[in-house]
Amino acid sequence: MSAKHIPVLAETLLQWISIGKDAVFVDCTLGHGGHAYLISKKLSSSGMIIGFDVDQKSLDYSADVLAGAECRAALVKSNFCRVKDNLHRLGIEKADLILADLGFSSGQVEDPDRGMSFQNNMPLDMRLDEDIEITAADIVNTVPEEELADIIYQYGEERASRKIARLICQRRQHQKITSTGQLASLTARVVRTGGKQHPATRTFQALRIAVNDELGALGKLLQDAPDILNPGGQIAVISFHSLEDRIVKQNFKENKQAGIYEIVTKKPLTASEGEVSENPRSRSAKLRIAKLN
């Protein structure tokens, strides 16, 4: 079966990684299996793919995508911050390639059950993993104003964070904020973007990161990666905003200085004009790769 989902920077990734036919490949964010499918074609029956995702729908879809692969495959419902522990549980000591694509599919963003999009009015949820207890609505309705402003500023890099937090807290005194439409309309009252992006973009990013602890999970993966990789093994990370990219860049730099990594991509790799025209979400994607010494 061929993968219908076209993954970001797929051809670029294949050009820059080095992987043998019997390699162990860890896909930390399996999604629709696009990257995994392409890499599976490079693996023999001795090779293996271990795919992780918090979304059971994505795992089920990827199982179909990888059904005809020659290599072995194990798909696990788990956040990638627990990759190291899960590999031990599976009896896998080391991997040859780790990939983390930190983006989201349009299907996830537009899913009304997730409440992540300001384009349509839906319940304000934003959880990628339904086992997480706290939703975005919980945060905007209960977190103190100063802490809420910090979340919006630190995770969304939103300059109007104080004004947005103040407006949210004023509104919630009289009416709970339970929908994406309510939150989007509030942010639009104080944010001016000149039409370049929706006024709610940065606030929604901040809440999604907070709900899913995305930066904490990324930090844990980067911390564990040297223990997971075989010598000469590679870690590749595709990020979509500056917060993620700075964390990856700093981690690779520190590990290089410590003699742990060789940085394969001196500068982040980005999408070509052709890819951007075919897949606009690739415009902000940055790929960094490091190799374990």
Q: How many CB atoms are located within 10 Å of the residue 44 CB? A: 11
CA-CA distance, 196 to 85, in Å (whole number)? 42
The amino acid sitting at 210 is A
Establish whether 53 is an annotated binding residue. yes
Residue 25 class from Cβ within 10 Å (0-12 exposed, 13-18 middle, 19+ buried)? buried
Is the pLDDT at 3 greater than 50? The verdict is: no
Is the pLDDT at 100 greater than 90? The verdict is: yes
- What would the mean pLDDT of 181-200 be, rounded to a whole number? 88
At residue 291, the 3 state secondary structure works out as strand
Check residue 74 and give left, alpha or beta (phi > 0: left; psi -120 to 50: alpha).
beta
CA-CA distance, 279 to 288, in Å (whole number)? 20
For the chain, give the percent of residues with pLDDT over 90.
Answer: 85
Position 2 scores a pLDDT of: 43
Establish whether 80 is an annotated binding residue. yes
Name 186's bridge partners: none
Q: How many CB atoms are located within 10 Å of the residue 172 CB? A: 17
Name 5's bridge partners: none
- Angle, CA 86 vertex, CA 80 and CA 109 arms, to 5°: 25
CA-CA distance, 74 to 282, in Å (whole number)? 28
Establish whether 108 is an annotated binding residue. yes
Residue 88 class from Cβ within 10 Å (0-12 exposed, 13-18 middle, 19+ buried)? exposed
pLDDT range class, residue 163, cuts 50, 70, 90 = very high
Name 289's bridge partners: 236
Establish whether 88 is an annotated binding residue. no
> Strand 229-239 to strand 261-263: parallel, antiparallel, or no bridges (unpaired)?
unpaired
Is the pLDDT at 116 greater than 90? The verdict is: no
At residue 251, the 3 state secondary structure works out as helix
Residue pointed to by tokens 């934003």: 126
More confident residue, 1 or 160: 160
For the chain, give the percent of residues with pLDDT over 70.
Answer: 93
pLDDT tens profile 56-97 = 889 999 999 999 999 999 999 999 999 999 999 999 999 999
**Read out DSSP for 167-192?**
HHHHHHTTS---BHHHHHHHHHTT--
Is the pLDDT at 109 greater than 90? The verdict is: no
The mean pLDDT of the chain is 93
Kind plus residue range of the DSSP H or E element containing 148 = helix 145-156
Establish whether 5 is an annotated binding residue. no
pLDDT tens profile 118-148 = 777 899 999 988 889 999 999 999 999 999 9
Residue pointed to by tokens 């103040």: 166
CA-CA distance, 217 to 81, in Å (whole number)? 5
pLDDT range class, residue 197, cuts 50, 70, 90 = confident
Residue 42 class from Cβ within 10 Å (0-12 exposed, 13-18 middle, 19+ buried)? middle
Establish whether 101 is an annotated binding residue. yes
Dihedrals φ, ψ of 235, to 5°? -120, 130
Establish whether 241 is an annotated binding residue. no
Taken in order of first residue, the domains within the chain and their CATH numbers are 10-107+214-292 (3.40.50.150), 115-212 (1.10.150.170)
pLDDT range class, residue 196, cuts 50, 70, 90 = confident
